[in-house]
Amino acid sequence: MNRILFSEPFRAGLESQYVAEALQGMNWQGDGPFTQRATDWLTTYTGAPHALLTTSCTHALELASILLDLGPGDEVIVPSFTFTSTATAVAIRGATPVFVDIEPETQNIDPQKAAAAVTDRTKAIYLVHYAGVAADVAALRAIADAHGLALVEDNAHSLGAYLDGQHLGTFGELATQSWHGTKNVACGEGGALLINNDAMVERAEIVREKGTNRSVFLRGAVDKYTWVDQGSSYLPSDILAALLMAQFDSFERIQDLRHGVWDRYRSDLTGWAAEQGATLMSVPEGRQHPAHMFYLLMPRAEDQGGLIAHLKERDIVATFHYQPLDAAPAGQALGRTPEPCTVTADTAARLVRLPLHAGLTEQDLDRVVTGVTEYRTRA
Ligand SMILES: Cc1ncc(COP(=O)(O)O)c(C=O)c1O
């Protein structure tokens, strides 16, 4: 019996060909022909006016923090239920992440609590669309506009996700993508910054290119390039961009397969969940999720470990997710938490994610569904 992994990168078919092509060329560094193709694909697909590939979503978030000139004394509102990167990208600039609780239906930042956390030091809100289900962007935009804050979307989960027909990642001034091996499209490690504000593009290119105006030089607009601003090295190799482009070219197929898995879980687990008091991931009206994740909320914390162990005995890897950042040692040392994040604590203790990747077979899905439905909660 094969082990059913929680996540696996999907080899869609063109990967070896594109990587071989990149290797035969002379441009192994960043911003080569595959980088250009992948960037064009991304802007066309998402509708974002500008995109820059980066070495990770974490680096794209750091780039955003540099563009917003964050520094000591500044505060950024972030959800307490997120990956560390949303907060480290703030803390690395000496600014303070301010942890705000989430809404129980979507696990996204609660706008009312975000509004209450604004101070005269707040510079931005970094929101996350958890599992690619849109956060309440309209309410968060209203708060940002009322206080002159920037809105940044941590869009790590959300390629292929929409709100009222508009692709996620096009609502904030900036948004960040991830192509980490666990994401719907992957090149091992990688990311992108989507830039929806034209005024930020030139500086973003400079910061990504070690603080130099090399991009302007390559376009022939200046004779020599030089150090003009803050910066770091956030360009991925064109070989990684080739791998990414192969995945982009198969995106529709990857998404069809992933949605098939998600729909199967939803339909086959609904009865069991109702009986056992578990709650399946829900997607409110108007929000189109990208089948990045399928999670359930168990009725009690004991059932989180209980279900994970029960599936492990059947060689199926299911897993919990983020641990509350406000309670983490670095969160307490580097962040601020105005109000207790009780929904985050509860969600973190009860959430279980099921295996979801494009390589799952019908037999694998039968095993997962049988495994879950044989579990009895400890009610
Ligand atoms: C919400 C969120 N932001 C950022 C990241 C970091 O992405 P990367 O590994 O590309 O830096 C993750 C990782 O899974 C994530 O879940």
Distance 285 CA to ligand 1 centre (A): 26
In this structure, what are the phi and psi dihedrals at residue 62, rounded to the nearest 5 degrees? -65, -40
Dump pLDDT digits (tens) for 112-136: 999 999 999 999 999 999 999 999 9
Residue 379 is predicted with a pLDDT of 64
Q: Let me know if 177 is exposed, middle or buried by CB neighbors in 10 A (0-12, 13-18, 19+).
A: buried
Q: Which of 191, 155, 195, 27 is nearest to 206 (CA)?
A: 195
Q: Which of 154, 131, 157, 153 is nearest to 144 (CA)?
A: 153
Mean pLDDT for all residues in the chain: 97
Residue 351 is predicted with a pLDDT of 98
Residue 318 is predicted with a pLDDT of 98
In this structure, what are the phi and psi dihedrals at residue 289, rounded to the nearest 5 degrees? -85, 160
Cα(59)–Cα(235) distance, integer angstroms: 10
Cα(163)–Cα(137) distance, integer angstroms: 9
Dump pLDDT digits (tens) for 64-108: 999 999 999 999 999 999 999 999 999 999 999 999 999 999 999
Cα(12)–Cα(14) distance, integer angstroms: 6
Residue 341 is predicted with a pLDDT of 98
Closest atom, ligand 1, to C-alpha of 177: 10
Cα(173)–Cα(314) distance, integer angstroms: 46
CB 82 less than 6 A from any atom of ligand 1: yes
Over range 270-276, report the average pLDDT.
Answer: 98
Strand partners, 295: 353
SS in 3 state form for 36-74?
Answer: HHHHHHHHHHHCCCEEEEECCHHHHHHHHHHHCCCCCCC
Q: What is the pTM for the complete model shown?
A: 0.97
C-alpha 103 chain-centroid distance: 18
What the block records as the tokens of 6 is 């929680």
Closest atom, ligand 1, to C-alpha of 58: 11
The answer on pLDDT for 216 being more than 90 is no
Give helix 57-67 / helix 84-91 axis angle, nearest 10°.
Answer: 40
Dump pLDDT digits (tens) for 292-340: 999 999 999 999 999 999 999 999 999 999 999 999 999 999 999 999 9
The answer on pLDDT for 184 being more than 80 is yes
CB 7 less than 6 A from any atom of ligand 1: no
- Name the DSSP class of 212: B
Give 49 or 220, the one with higher predicted confidence: 49
Distance 180 CA to ligand 1 centre (A): 8
Over range 225-253, report the average pLDDT.
Answer: 97
Residue type, 296: L
Cα(151)–Cα(208) distance, integer angstroms: 20
The answer on pLDDT for 223 being more than 90 is no
